[in-house]
A and B are shown apart, each in its own frame.
Chain A
Amino acid sequence: AQSVTQLGSHVSVSEGALVLLRCNYSSSVPPYLFWYVQYPNQGLQLLLKYTSAATLVKGINGFEAEFKKSETSFHLTKPSAHMRDAAEYFCAVSDRRETSGSRLTFGEGTQLTVNP
């Protein structure tokens, strides 16, 4: 079984400040890990994903995440927050099966607020 825990349902930062959204996973097999962003009344947009290549993954909009096996973590960071980054962020895990039926398991989400 796999699970994801996002620490902090709400994170508030000032514009220009560092963004750090925490995600820890539990998986019995080497996982694939994902970060998604969701704006109000919209679907999910992929920010980045870890699939066993480089442990530091760079994504869109200046976000990056580092896979740390020893800490079972995959925290999302951005050096400087923009107002447009205010949204809901979801961490997700899937097993490494290459079959299409492999499902995503989502964390509870973290609402990021960016203050001017």
Chain B
Amino acid sequence: GAVVSQHPSWVICKSGTSVKIECRSLDFQATTMFWYRQFPKQSLMLMATSNEGSKATYEQGVEKDKFLINHASLTLSTLTVTSAHPEDSSFYICSARQFTGTGYTFGSGTRLTVV
């Protein structure tokens, strides 16, 4: 079945530094990648949607300059949290979708802790 590999699974960084999270579709072409943020005991909040080769579309209230999304190929999308602060600490999850079909494949998530 479709697999999305997300790395790292957890990361601790110092306040003010940047962190990059990668999601790779291993056996299919991910035309669209969704990036979510999840706070403890809460649901997934969609941050942005990216299509291969295009700029990402950000949800209202999500800072574009802080959460940089790149989707340069059909198998790789990255989320960079720039100048991270403790309030950016969260669980980040990607989800990929193929051009056709109804499937959404989720990565295993990244636990980001900013100290």
Q: Do A and B come from one complex?
A: yes
| Contacts from A to B (Cβ < 8 Å) | 32, 34, 36, 41-46, 49, 51, 90, 94, 98-104, 106-109, 111
| Contacts from B to A (Cβ < 8 Å) | 4, 6, 9-10, 31-32, 34, 41-44, 46, 49, 51, 91, 93, 95, 97-104, 106-109, 111
The answer to whether B106 touches A43 (Cβ under 8 A) is: yes
Which residues on the A side are within 8 Å of B6 (C-beta)?
A: 43
The answer to whether A101 touches B93 (Cβ under 8 A) is: no
- Count of chain A to chain B residue pairs whose CB atoms are closer than 8 Å in the complex: 60
The answer to whether A108 touches B31 (Cβ under 8 A) is: no
Shortest distance in angstroms between B16's beta carbon and chain A's nearest beta carbon?
A: 25
The answer to whether A100 touches B43 (Cβ under 8 A) is: no
Main secondary structure of the interface of A (DSSP, over half): loop
Supply 10 further A-B pairs (C-beta < 8 A) apart from A41-B10, A103-B34, A108-B42. Answer: A36-B106, A41-B91, A43-B106, A43-B109, A44-B44, A44-B106, A51-B102, A94-B104, A100-B51, A104-B34
The answer to whether A104 touches B108 (Cβ under 8 A) is: no
The answer to whether B43 touches A41 (Cβ under 8 A) is: no
Shortest distance in angstroms between A26's beta carbon and chain B's nearest beta carbon?
A: 16
- Chain A: CB-nearest residue to B2: A46
The answer to whether B49 touches A101 (Cβ under 8 A) is: yes
Q: How far is the CA of A79 from the CA of B41 in the complex (A)?
A: 26
| B93 partner, pick from A32, A43, A51, beta carbons under 8 A | A43
Shortest distance in angstroms between A42's beta carbon and chain B's nearest beta carbon?
A: 6
Shortest distance in angstroms between B52's beta carbon and chain A's nearest beta carbon?
A: 9
